[in-house]
Amino acid sequence: MRPILLYILAICGVWSWSDAARRSESDLASEAARLRAHNAALAHRLYAVDSVDPVSGKLEAAALIEKAFEIEGVDWDERQADAMLRLCWRESRYNPMLQNPRSTAFGMYQFLDSTWRGTRVSKTTDPLLQTIAAVRYIKSRYGTPRRALEFHLVAREVNGVVQHYY
- Tell me: the pLDDT tens digits for 80-122? 999 999 999 999 999 999 999 999 999 999 999 999 999 999 9
161: helix, strand or coil: strand
On whether both 109 and 77 belong to a single domain, the answer is yes
Predicted confidence at residue 54, as pLDDT, reads 80
Q: Between 94 and 161, name the one with better pLDDT.
A: 94
On whether both 69 and 120 belong to a single domain, the answer is yes
Q: Is this structure's pTM higher than 0.85?
A: no
CB count in 10 Å sphere of residue 4? 10
On whether both 21 and 56 belong to a single domain, the answer is no
Tell which residue, 134, 123, 118, has the closest CA to residue 69: 134
On whether both 105 and 26 belong to a single domain, the answer is no
CATH code: domain of residue 89: 1.10.530
- pLDDT band per the 50, 70, 90 thresholds, residue 58: very high
Helix axes 3-11 and 127-141, enclosed angle (nearest 10): 100
On whether both 132 and 145 belong to a single domain, the answer is yes
On whether both 17 and 3 belong to a single domain, the answer is yes
Tell me the percentage of the chain whose pLDDT exceeds 70: 69
**CB contact set of 101 (below 8 Å; sequence gap of 6+):** none
On whether both 4 and 80 belong to a single domain, the answer is no
On whether both 67 and 87 belong to a single domain, the answer is yes
Which range among 2-11, 134-143, 153-162 has the greatest average pLDDT? Answer: 134-143
- How many domains, in total, are found in the chain? 2
Residue-range definition of the domain harbouring residue 65: 52-163
Predicted confidence at residue 48, as pLDDT, reads 42
